[in-house]
Amino acid sequence: MENDIILFMLIGAVSQLVDGMLGMGFGTISSSLLLTMGIHPRTSSSLIHTAEIFTSGTAALSHIKLKNVRKKTVAVLALYGSLGGLAGALLLTNVPTNWIKPFVAFYLLFLGISIIHKYFRLRKKGFQPFEIFPLRLVAQLLNKVRLRVPGGVKPLSKIQLGMLGITGGTLDAVGGGGWGAIVNTSLISKGQDPHKSIGSSCVAEFFVTLTTSIALFSLTESFWWQACLGLVLGGVIMAPISAILCKKISSHVFLLVIGVLVTLLSINTLVNLGIDWYFLRLT
C-alpha cells in the first residue's frame, strides 16, 4: 500500500509540474504514464478526474476571485461539457478494452505530436503561453476559421460553445485529459481575451471533472483509493514548487520535453498493444 501511494505521488508530482509550468497537462501526462503502466483507461480516467476535482476546484476559485470569467461562457461549457463527460464515461464502461486502449493511445500520441509541432512554431514568433496544445483540426471544425492569435474576432456562438463543450468533455473523459487543450485553443482562436478564456474554461472544467468523476465512480465496481490519494498528495506538494520553477526554467524548452515524453509513452503503449495482439493471434 505504501509503495502504491509513493508511486502515484510521483506521477501526481510530475503531472502537476507540467501543469504548473504550462498551465495545462495534468490529465495528459498522468494518463500517458498510467496507460504505460498497463492500467485500464477507465480506471486511469476515474483516478485522474477524482484527483483533478481538488486541483481544478482550487484553480476555479482563484479565477472567480479575480473576476477572470465570463458567466455565460462558463454556463454553456459546463452544461455541455458535463454531457460530454457522461458520454465519455459510458463509452469507457461499455466499449471493449481492445478498442478503447488503442484509441486513447492514439489520442495521446496526437496530443504529444501537437505539442512538439507547437514548439517549432513558437521558435520563430516567441513563446505564447495561451496557445500550448494546438488541436488545429478541432478548432477548424468547431470555429470554421484558421487558428489565429487574439484580435477582434466574433466570439463563439452558443451552438459552437455547446459543440466545443461536448467534444472537450467526451475526449477528456475517454483520454483522461485534454479539456484545456481543446477548449482553451478554440476559445482563444476566436479572439476572446486569453485571460477570461482560460478562466472561464477552468471554472467550467471543475463541473465537467466533478460530473465525469461521479459517473465513472458509479459505473466502476471498485475504486483505487491509494492511487487517487497518491495523485492528490503529489500534485499538492508539487504545486508551489512548479510555480517557483516556472520562473527559473524556460517554458519554451519545457514544452518540447513534454511533447517528446507524451509521444514516446504513447508509442510504447501502442507497440506493447501490437505485440499482445500478435501473440494473441498465434494462440
- Mean of per-residue pLDDT scores for the chain: 77
146 has a pLDDT exceeding 50:
no
Q: What percentage of the chain carries pLDDT values higher than 90?
A: 16
What pLDDT sits at residue 33?
87
- Residue-number span of the structural domain to which 199 is assigned: 2-282
Domains held by the chain: number: 1
Mean pLDDT of 179-186: 76
For 202-236, the pLDDT digits (tens) are 899 899 999 999 998 888 776 788 888 899 899 88
pTM value > 0.85? no
For 99-112, the pLDDT digits (tens) are 877 887 888 788 78
116 confidence band (pLDDT: 50, 70, 90)? confident
What is the rounded distance in angstroms from the CA atom of residue 270 to the CA atom of residue 263?
11
Most confident region among 79-88, 142-151, 155-164, 230-239 by mean pLDDT: 79-88
For 252-277, the pLDDT digits (tens) are 777 787 788 778 878 887 887 787 67
